[in-house]
Amino acid sequence: MQYLGENVMIYFSMLGIIYVYYYLIRIKTIEQQKVKLETQLVHSKLNMLKAQLNPHFVFNTLNSISSLIDIDKEKSQDMITDFGDLFRDILDLGNKNLISLKQELDMLKKYIDIISIRFSDHLSFEEVIDNELEEALVPVMLLQPIIENSIKHGYSYNSTELSVILRIFKDSQYLHIEVQNDGQPLQQPFNDTIVTGMGIKNIEDRLKTLYKDNFSFKVENIKDNQGVKTSIMIPFGV
């Protein structure tokens, strides 16, 4: 009877181990499926946000070209060529949500070339960027809407000359992106600007989707109304 009892205990112990083993496998499978689903949802949302951003960018650029045609046909033709090159780069990115900072800056340069034609000598643009950050990963088309917003809201009746500076640097954990202009101060709180500005709202939504709460994004007046600074902080990764 003692021998039989020991065998029964061993039998039920084995059953328990097998049950726990398959239970853990099932839990792991469910977790993997959950992660996969969450990843698919993130990509779907990011693709939707990019689908919103591209027509917004196209419309604004075509509007710039249209305003230039009657003033300088040759420059407007140059702008159309630059726009075609830039939009081809955007389409070539496909479903990518993160790209290297170098790729992002290459696209930004083409946008600056386009916008500089429109504003001629009334706009100056400067970059202060550490070359070691070229391989850092950033969201696709993160910089262009920020620069566009800085230019659009920087000009005013009293600010017809505009200087824009892009600074990118890092600390031990985060990549810092700052865009500063010397134009018109904000006339309304930043939260109101997000609601009314599609490009800015799009940036915030994409940052939330990619980084959850692990990022910072703000637009604020510089002291003594010397312009406006946009600041973004995201996890540094390559």
Domain that holds residue 169: 48-235
Rounded Cα distance between 208 and 7, Å, is 57
pLDDT at residue 202 in the model: 81
Q: Which residue has the tokens 């600390």?
A: 171
97: domain CATH number is 3.30.565.10
- Ranges under pLDDT 50 in the chain: 35, 37, 40-41, 195
| Inside any domain, residue 199 | yes
pLDDT at residue 40 in the model: 45
Per-residue model confidence as pLDDT tens digits over 175-232: 999 999 988 888 766 555 554 556 678 888 888 888 888 999 998 888 877 889 999 9
pLDDT at residue 233 in the model: 96
Rounded Cα distance between 157 and 208, Å, is 35
| Inside any domain, residue 69 | yes
pLDDT at residue 136 in the model: 93
**3-state SS, residue 182:** coil
Q: Which one, of 222, 41, 50, 216, lies nearest residue 139 by Cα?
A: 50
pLDDT at residue 37 in the model: 45
Tell me the backbone φ, ψ of residue 99, rounded to 5 degrees: -135, 170
pLDDT at residue 133 in the model: 93
Q: Tally the domains of the chain.
A: 1
Q: Is 225 left (phi over 0), alpha (psi -120 to 50) or beta?
A: left
